Amino acid sequence: MAKSEATCRHRESKSQSFLVSDDIEKILAKKKFQNFFDIAVVGFMGSRLVTIPEFGSTFLKENSLIYVETANYICTLRKKERDELNTKLQNAAANLNLVSIPYDKKHHYKYQKIGDGKR
């Protein structure tokens, strides 16, 4: 692919990436990020985000997709511990009204925000 063609495609998609490095509660409170994100990818170490009500209700746009890393590949955990953590992740996502979407659940869970994310 030619450089100009790649640049043109990027401009058409209007995609932006944000790497969150600040305190998440500060970011969730900023008005400019409310109903802002179409897709969120949450690593296991950041999975606490799925337990914060504002993540589901104000941070994500309606119909946005959320990928949450499972605990399946945390090698320091026993299988029972991994299973317990995965259950906690699934329950937390359900509490935010995130709908599970069929996906290869070996590495990530896939969810979609339906409605305003409030219960």
CA triple 111-114-118, angle to 5 deg: 105
The lowest-confidence range among 14-28, 45-59, 60-74, 104-118 is 14-28
Would you state the pLDDT for residue 13?
Answer: 56
The answer to whether residue 2 scores a pLDDT higher than 70 is no
Instruction: Report which of 41, 27, 17 is spatially closest to residue 109, judged by C-alpha positions.
Output: 41
- Coil, strand or helix: which one is 6? helix
Can you give the pTM of this predicted structure? 0.76
The single-letter code of the amino acid at 45 is M
